């Protein structure tokens, strides 16, 4: 009797784990429209563990057909993540371009520490999100202001403010209309890529509450519309997209020659948020660099005190 109960329990547990794996594959391709699907889609990479556990559970109770089904589901989940682990061929001999993104968590980040990171990295482009007026004052008073970077600043209350910094002068500066937060665009000259359009991105967040998920998706669609209207030529968009690789609306941005840096560099699973919760370990990758006319050769993250995001640093080479 005890054996039958254990086998039944194992069967139920295995089926639940298998359902998680199947659901993850569906969510990867499903265009989420609200928090009910946005949140679980962020956890799709973890479904490899659930489906793998299902294989072990079914094997322990000798359900071989279900073992085979679970193994197929493991493979299906891995297929959704494979592009992030496979590096693309990179141009050789071209000058390296470094870009950096940092969300300051409503201005609470340690600006002095950020200045040290900027000094060490010497980026060509910097995108700062959630820059409050107070945080902007601290940035202006920090070594960042004397690092030879050209500034396009649009600080604001709460999470709205954004700053775009470039090593070369900027022209054609504008704020993208119709978006919840301040998203900025300018043209600058980068090594091997003159006339590059750079975007400092901060798409709306699907915070808990009625309608916010739908608003976040609407913002991503608006961003896609803005990017699609840009003239041909090199382009880099850097920032907090509030969406992961597994969100279809994020991948919809990757059209017309636009590619994801982590995909190009084979950076794998590189979570950036949140760093202020239990264990201070980020679990979702919502900070990104996407580009046209470049190949990312390296992606990495570094800690920054006072904020809930890791700093994202990407090395690019012009095609």
Per-residue pLDDT of the chain in tens (319 residues, 90 and over written 9):
577 877 888 899 999 999 999 999 999 999 998 899 999 999 999 999 999 999 999 999 999 999 999 999 999 999 999 999 999 888 888 899 999 999 999 999 999 999 999 999 999 999 999 999 999 999 999 999 888 899 999 999 999 999 999 999 999 999 999 999 999 999 999 999 999 999 999 999 999 887 889 999 999 999 999 999 999 999 999 999 999 999 999 999 999 999 999 999 999 999 999 999 878 899 999 999 999 999 999 999 999 999 999 999 999 999 9
- At residue 106's C-alpha, the angle toward residues 163 and 36, to 5°, is 105
**Residues in the chain, how many?**
319
Q: What is the pLDDT at residue 311? A: 98
Closest CA to 239 of 316, 312, 165: 312
- By CB atoms closer than 10 A (0-12, 13-18, 19+), residue 279 is exposed
> How far apart are alpha carbons 211 and 129 in whole angstroms?
23
- Edge-first strand order for the sheet with 150-154 is 150-154, 162-166, 125-129, 96-103, 311-318, 294-302
Strand-pair category, 259-260 with 235-240: unpaired
Q: Where are the extended beta strands (E) located within 54-138? A: 96-103, 125-129
Q: Compute CA distances 80 → 77, 189, 250, 295, whole Å.
A: 5, 35, 14, 21
- pTM for this predicted structure: 0.94
Helix or strand run (H / E) with residue 227:
helix 212-228
């Amino acid at each position: 009797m005890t054996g039958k109960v254990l086998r039944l329990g194992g069967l139920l547990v295995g089926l639940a784990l298998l359902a998680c794996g199947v659901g993850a594959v569906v969510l990867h391709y499903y265009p989420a429209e609200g928090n009910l699907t946005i949140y679980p889609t962020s956890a799709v990479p973890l479904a490899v563990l659930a489906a793998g556990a299902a294989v072990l559970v079914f094997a322990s109770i000798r359900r071989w057909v279900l073992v085979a089904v679970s193994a197929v589901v493991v493979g299906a989940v891995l297929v959704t993540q494979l592009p992030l682990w496979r590096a693309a061929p990179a141009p050789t001999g071209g000058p390296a371009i470094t870009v950096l993104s940092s969300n300051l968590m409503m201005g609470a980040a340690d600006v002095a520490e950020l200045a040290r990171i900027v000094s060490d990295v010497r980026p060509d482009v910097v995108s700062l999100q959630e820059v409050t007026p107070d945080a902007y004052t601290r940035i202006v008073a920090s070594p960042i202001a004397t690092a030879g970077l050209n500034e396009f600043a649009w600080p604001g209350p709460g999470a709205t403010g954004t700053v775009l910094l470039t090593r070369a002068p900027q022209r054609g500066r504008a704020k993208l209309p119709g978006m919840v937060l301040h998203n900025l665009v300018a043209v600058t000259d980068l090594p091997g890529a003159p006339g590059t359009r750079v975007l400092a991105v901060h798409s709306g967040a699907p915070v808990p509450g009625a309608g916010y998920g739908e608003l976040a998706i609407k913002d991503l669609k608006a961003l896609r519309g803005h990017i699609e209207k840009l003239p041909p030529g090199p382009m880099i968009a850097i920032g907090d997209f509030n969406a992961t690789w597994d969100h279809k609306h994020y991948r919809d941005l990757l059209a017309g020659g636009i590619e994801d840096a982590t995909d190009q560099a084979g950076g794998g699973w590189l979570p950036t948020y949140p760093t202020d919760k239990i264990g201070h370990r980020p679990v979702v990758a919502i900070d990104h660099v996407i580009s046209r006319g470049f190949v990312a050769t390296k992606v990495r993250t570094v800690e920054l005190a006072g904020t809930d995001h890791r700093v994202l640093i990407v090395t690019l080479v012009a095609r």
